Amino acid sequence: MIDPPLDGVQTPEPEPAHSADPDAVPPQAGPPEPKRTERPHPLTPLIRGWVVSLALIIGLGREILGWFTESRPLPPLQLLLGGIGGIAVIAVLIGLASWLATRFVIDADELRIESGILLRKSQRIAFDKVTSIDVLQPLAARIFALAELEIDIGSSERVKLRYLTRARSYSLRDYLLSRAHSHQAELVHTEDPGLQLGDLSAEDEVLVQVPPQRLLLGAVTSNEFIGLLITIIITVTAAAIAAPYFGGPVLVLALGVSAISGIGGFVVRRLTGQFNFTLSSRPAGLRISRGLTSLTSQSVPPRRIQLVRLSQSLWWRRFGWYRAEIDVLGMGMRNEEDTHASVSSVLLPVADHAQVRLVLARIWPEADWESIQLHPAPFRARWLHPVAGPFLGLGHDDLLVVSRHGWLERRWDLVPHARVQSIRIDQGPVSRKLGLADLAFHTAGSRLHPHAYGLDANHVLERQDELIMLAQAHRSDITLAPAARPAAPADQPGPEALRADQAEATISDTE
Amino acid sequence: MDALFQPDGDWQRLGDVAVVSHRVNSLALNLLASIGLLVGVWILTNGDLLWVGAAAVAAASWTTWRVIRIGRWIRSFGFREGERDLLITHGLWYKSLTAIPYGRMLSVEVTTGPVSRLWGLADVQLITASHRSNAQIPALRATDAARLRDHLIALGEKQALPL
């Protein structure tokens, strides 16, 4: 192996770059100079120690509050402080050891991370396996202008690099994203963008920015909020009726207080999690940045998007607002809590029709979901789907399948044929009597399950061959506009390349 | 079966061995469960023969029903190796038809457990990028399973589609 030039690599860290293995004897053939490896920022162990002791203080504080109310004797203060201090020191020491053990290489020909104190682990990741990269900035790291790089490679475990300087995180993120698209990219040093709420660079083009007012209004009119409200009203009314027999007004008061804090918590979580939600476009893909207390920025390569689900809460119909969710290959079982610094599947929290159009045109330039003629479910489907019946429908053109369903929340599932892995037709005993059938489209995502319900069985019978044919048709990349598409299908890998593509994403070994 | 779940073509069914083996398995499992149930009822009712008798009748009819049913379910199973896709159909009350293009297959697994090995049977499972595809063909003869696997892999390599 001949080492490619490393001029693209820069090490903005204050400490000198470490050689991977200074004692290694270079092999005879093509003696490469030792690879330049990096370590995370030296403040890392301190921050991790701080996080541990903070968790400890909060945990202990709760215990002690409990002791107060039970009027138990407190242990001496010295013991407490000593205990916390001791554990914090141990945490810092462990952090230090793991920092010493962690090294990474990101250069023109590999992305490799070595970590582990006792169990040494060397993880090498193929560039094209990187599905998304997130730069997370928890509070403690933010203070020191550090950030955490989270690399999603499609397996359940996400590769974490923490903590790096913010500038380094962003430049690595940009580099890896370009490489994920098989662009030849140069690793360039970006300036530290500084502490800011947004996260945009010069080449970013802002597509959608959700103002806080709309976020607030959207949260308050969402089905979740209304459901919460109804539950609370029922509980408080029931408590008010039962109050004379049980705890009296105190009961109602206590319930009311917890209800208000519940509502407040919901709105605040929505607001802080999605604050300043910005969807921007850059050559390498889409990027989402959001969050008030901790800024999350998340990259979404359009090629990995398996489907888009538009949904509309009951009241949003009036405003013409939509929420867009995506299922991305390798997003794994990401939680639905779109609030904290974790990565979520929300593409647009609240958006109007024009914005949805704009964003979808970026993802799938040629697909036009609105021009697809939907075939409604027959009237008899209302026996099985009394409320949703009139809304159910399925349609497709040669790029997309669109399924419309849902009643309290209306949903449109948009699935490109190119992402359909298999199709299933289902029919239960009642459906058979009614001459109905359901369709399920299996995609590589794991969160959203696109379905079409209550279809006319004869209609399905006529379409099934066509749908199956479309699912397996060879076609050029749906994420590219016709102009941007290469004349020769260079992007279309042959069977061999595909096998390689489907091979294990990471080569990791433990010693 | 209607045309919806069985388009024209050369459908392959599971053999009699599969039916017999599933019936025996089902019988064994249900008898075990029945004995457990009867012992439970005996203890709970302090040996009241009326209750135990009723439970025995219920358990016996359930077992009979399951044993008949599992055989019919296995007979309802069919698969068709089409030109470009594999179709799998099954179900009595809840019928389903799954279509998997060969190009979407990532791998094919042949599995066999200790019991099915006694019968010389094996299951074939197609793996696609979607974990919901759930394309399994149970209880094939081991030689048929191996042949099917090799055939599917060969077809899949020829027709591979991008992920």
Partners of B106 on chain A (C-beta within 8 Å) are 502
Phi-psi region of B137 (alpha: psi -120 to 50; beta: other; left: phi over 0): beta
Taking the Cβ of residue A457 and every Cβ of chain B, the question of whether any pair is shorter than 8 Å is answered with yes
Q: H or E stretch including B40?
A: helix B16-44
CA-based nearest distance B154→chain A, Å: 11
Q: How far apart are CA B34 and CA B29, in angstroms?
A: 9
**pLDDT surpassing 80 at residue A190:** no
Whether residue A76 has pLDDT greater than 50? yes
Of all residues in chain A, the one with the smallest CA distance to B1 is A432
Q: What are phi and psi of A125, to 5 degrees?
A: -120, 130
Winning range, highest mean pLDDT, from A31-45, A260-274, A398-412, B3-17:
A398-412
Average pLDDT of span A256-283: 83
The answer to whether A490 and A477 are in contact (CB under 8 A) is no
- Mean predicted confidence (pLDDT) in A330-357: 65
Average model confidence (pLDDT) for chain B? 87
Query: Are A131 and A330 contacting, i.e. CB atoms less than 8 angstroms apart?
Result: yes
Nearest CB to A422 within list B7, B130, B162: B130
- Which of A73-82, A115-124, B64-73 has the least mean pLDDT? A73-82
Which of the residues B95, B134, B155 would you substitute to probe the A interface, choosing the one with the greatest number of A C-beta atoms within 10 Å? B95
Residue A495 and residue B157: Cα distance in Å, rounded?
Answer: 6
Q: How many CB pairs under 8 A join A and B?
A: 99
Per the DSSP assignment, residues forming a β-bridge with B107 are B127
Q: A171-207: string of b/e by CB count within 10 Å (b at 16+)?
A: bbbbbbbbbbbeeebebeebeeeeeeeebbeeebeeb
Which comes out higher in pLDDT, residue B128 or B31? B31
| CB contact at 8 A, A40 and A53 | no
Residue A317 to residues A213, A232, A352, A452, A455, Cα–Cα distance (Å): 18, 24, 10, 21, 24
- Summary count for chain B: helices (H), strands (E): 4, 7
d(CA A102, CA A96): 10
Residue A287: phi and psi, rounded to 5, are -140, 135
Contacts of B158 in chain A (CB under 8 A): 495
Strand partners, B51: none
Residues of B in contact with A457 (CB under 8 A): 4
Most confident of A111-125, A316-330, B58-72: B58-72
- The top-scoring range by mean pLDDT among A45-49, A263-267, A392-396 is A392-396
User: Which among B85, B96, B135 has CB closest to A426?
Assistant: B96
N- to C-terminal Cα distance for chain B? 34
- Contacts with B93 from chain A: Cβ below 8 Å: 428-429
d(CA A297, CA A170): 10
B103, B110 contact by CB (below 8 A): no
The answer for residues whose C-beta is within 8 angstroms of residue A425's C-beta and 6 or more apart is A437, A438, A439, A440, A460, A464, B4, B5, B96, B97, B98
Q: Give me the residues paired with residue A294 across strands.
A: none
Tell me: the pLDDT tens digits for B106-115? 888 888 888 8
Dist. CA A292–CA A276, nearest whole Å? 7
Return the H-helix or E-strand segment holding A295: strand A295-300
Asked if A418 contacts B163 with a C-beta cutoff of 8 angstroms, the reply is no
Determine the 3-state secondary structure of A215 from DSSP. helix
- Rg (C-alpha) for chain A, rounded Å, is 27
Q: Which of A76-80, A302-306, A379-383, B19-23 has the lowest mean pLDDT?
A: A76-80
Q: How confident is the model at residue B34 (pLDDT cuts 50, 70, 90)?
A: very high
Residue for token pair 């009867």? B38
Q: Specify the 3-state DSSP secondary structure of A4.
A: coil
- Best probe of the B interface among A305, A328, A420, A442, by most B CBs < 10 A, is A442
Report which of residues B102 and A15 the model is more confident about: B102
pLDDT at residue A424, rounded to an integer: 92
Could you please report the per-residue DSSP string of A227-273? HHHHHHHHHHHHHHHHGGGTTTHHHHHHHHHHHHHHHHHHHHHHHHH
A-chain residues near B103 (CB < 8 A) = 472
Structure confidence at residue A507 (pLDDT): 30
Q: Which of A428, A457, A492 sits opposite B94 (nearest CB)?
A: A428
Coil vs helix vs strand at A123: strand
Report the gap between the CA of B83 and the closest CA in chain A (Å): 11
Of the candidates B81, B86, B110, the residue with the CA atom closest to the CA atom of residue B98: B86
Chain B residue numbers with beta carbons less than 8 Å from the beta carbon of A332 are none
Mutate which: A422, A425, A436, A467, vs B, most B CBs within 10 A: A422
Instruction: Work out the burial of residue B158: count CB atoms within 10 Å of its CB; fewer than 13 is exposed, 13-18 middle, 19 or more buried.
Output: exposed
Q: Which residues in chain A have Cβ-Cβ distances shorter than 8 Å to B136?
A: none
pLDDT at res. A508: 30
User: For chain A, first and last CA: distance in Å?
Assistant: 24
Q: With a cut of 50, say whether residue A4 has pLDDT above it.
A: no
Q: Which of A216-230, A323-337, B149-163 has the highest mean pLDDT?
A: A216-230
pLDDT beyond 90 at B65: yes
pLDDT band for B133, please (50, 70, 90 cuts).
confident
pLDDT winner (highest mean) among A79-88, A286-295, A499-508, B71-80: B71-80
Amino acid at A28: Q
Q: Which residue of B has its CA nearest to A419?
A: B163
Residues in chain A: 511
Given a cut of 90, whether residue A414 has pLDDT beyond it is: yes
Q: Would the CB atoms of A422 and B159 count as touching at under 8 Å?
A: no
User: Which element (helix H / strand E) includes A286?
Assistant: strand A285-290
